Amino acid sequence: MNSSKPSWLKVKLPAHENYFHLSELLKKNKLNTICQSAKCPNVTECWTARTATFLILGDVCTRRCAFCAVKKGQPAPLCAEEPERVAEAVETLGLNYAVITSVTRDDLPDGGASIFAATIQAVRRRTPNTQIEVLIPDFQGQDEALKTVLMARPEILNHNLEVPEAIYPAINRPPAHYRRSLRVLEKAKEMAATTKSGLMIGLGENAPDILLTFSELRRAGCDLLTIGQYLRPSRDNAPVEKYYAPEEFLELKNIALDFGFRDVEAGPLVRSSYHARKLYQTTRRDTWGHACAT
């Protein structure tokens, strides 16, 4: 196991006024972000650029994945005002691209799918030109829950595999959940969604594990992919087994593109919503033959 963190993983401390303005806005609207909850290393860069990934359904997850910094336990009751609060923040920030994700809520009959749909609809009412990406949990494999989200017509349906199947035991997930997640992406594609997934590496996978995952994602019709370095949030989380160099991420990106993904974002600090709008624009170019308007 390699325990020393390399120099390319250093991040800047916040200094720009945009960062602090966004922080205050989130507090005022009583909103959560995955940027904070998951201790994302890109929070300074993204908040300075006035972008954030909104975290809905509260901030407590019902699962106990070994890689994740999000709080775990018994969630509080749902907040009926949450969709409108997110929409208000999107409007105030003037976002033309919004990313919405959630904790996993296995305690809810639909896993929170109806709240995803309500949040998309609330954003559409306030800012109809905002493009929306949702990063969803697996809803325990419920097709109706997935359909509920897709009926609200997000531009991108993102669902992370997280790691290759062989690594699922290391992150405290049953291997069957890997197959379930692949099916979520496959069903979303059958429902005509543009789909996206994300992988963390550095938890003990090998090259054949990664290549097999690329292949299975493409068989499921996945369009877009992010690949990033796993960083241990605390001593209570799974250890890092390997730090990949930037050159290795570039190589993996090129290999993934050869598998047929429409675009790939790969790098040590890449996370699911990193440069999300850029990846979406790739799909627009592919569809209409030119870049979408900024």
Asked whether 92 and 21 are in contact (CB, 8 A), the reply is no
What is the per-residue pLDDT for 191? 96
What is the per-residue pLDDT for 51? 60
pLDDT top residue among 245 and 24: 245
The 3-state DSSP class for residue 209 equals helix
What is the per-residue pLDDT for 14? 53
Question: What span, in angstroms and rounded, lies between the C-alpha atoms of 219 and 212?
Answer: 11
What is the per-residue pLDDT for 294? 33
The whole-chain average pLDDT of the chain stands at 86
pLDDT category of residue 250 using cuts at 50, 70 and 90: very high
pLDDT top residue among 58 and 4: 58
Question: What span, in angstroms and rounded, lies between the C-alpha atoms of 139 and 142?
Answer: 6
The 3-state DSSP class for residue 124 equals helix
Tens-place pLDDT, residues 23-53:
676 676 666 665 554 455 555 555 455 566 7
Tens-place pLDDT, residues 186-234:
999 999 999 999 999 999 999 999 999 999 999 999 999 999 999 888 8
Least confident of 47-61, 68-82, 214-228, 247-261: 47-61
Q: What is the pTM of this model?
A: 0.86
pLDDT top residue among 95 and 143: 143
Structural domains present in the chain: 15-154 (no CATH), 160-294 (3.40.50)
285's CB contacts (< 8 A; 6+ apart) are 291, 292
What is the per-residue pLDDT for 97? 87
Say what percent of the chain tops pLDDT 90: 59
Least confident of 7-21, 60-74, 119-133, 214-228: 7-21
What is the per-residue pLDDT for 291? 37
Phi, psi at residue 36, to the nearest 5°? -80, -50
Half-sphere exposure in the Cβ direction for 8 (13 Å, CA): 13
Q: Which residues of 6-44 are buried (b: 16+ CB within 10 A; e: fewer)?
A: eeeeeeeebeeeebeebbebbeebebbbbbbbbebbbbb
87's CB contacts (< 8 A; 6+ apart) are 119, 122, 123, 125, 126, 127
Asked whether 189 and 217 are in contact (CB, 8 A), the reply is no
The 3-state DSSP class for residue 38 equals coil
